Structure 1
Amino acid sequence: SYFTAPGGERVEIFGHGGGASEAARQGTSFLGEIPLFTEIREGGDAGLPVVIKDPEGIPAQAFGKIAAELRGTMD
């Protein structure tokens, strides 16, 4: 997960690559990263997911990518 600062800088709060490394170590798929955007929390609080409110936004695209990765593991 990462945070995008107001100036657009991507900040790796928890480091980078740990999830992918652990997935590889476990022999499983790494589905992706979820950005730490306030829109995700606000949408959850309001009952309006970001994928509905702003389907073209960065958070919605991240969830879509993870859904596609998950769907690919089911083929």
Structure 2
Amino acid sequence: MTDHEPPKRGQEFMHSSFQRQLPDGTQGFAVMKVTAVRRGEVFYTYADSPTNKGDWRMPIENWIKRYGTAASRP
């Protein structure tokens, strides 16, 4: 894998700024999943979303700066 490999569909990551209420009532950063990677953009939604529709998107370059490459994700 190269340093510039985009994220993979289905890959989960913790969003750097979206917060969500956790079951215990506290706030935590939202766990997201990649729904698609196309035309230089990463589409993503909440990891527990019942649909696979990408609710948000960002340029691949920004995703790599914030979250690393597909190779650096668990």
Q: Per the shorter chain, which TM-score range?
A: under 0.3
Structure that is richer in helix per residue: 1
- Between 1 and 2, higher relative CO (CA 8 Å, sep ≥ 6) is seen in 2
Q: Which has the larger radius of gyration?
A: 1
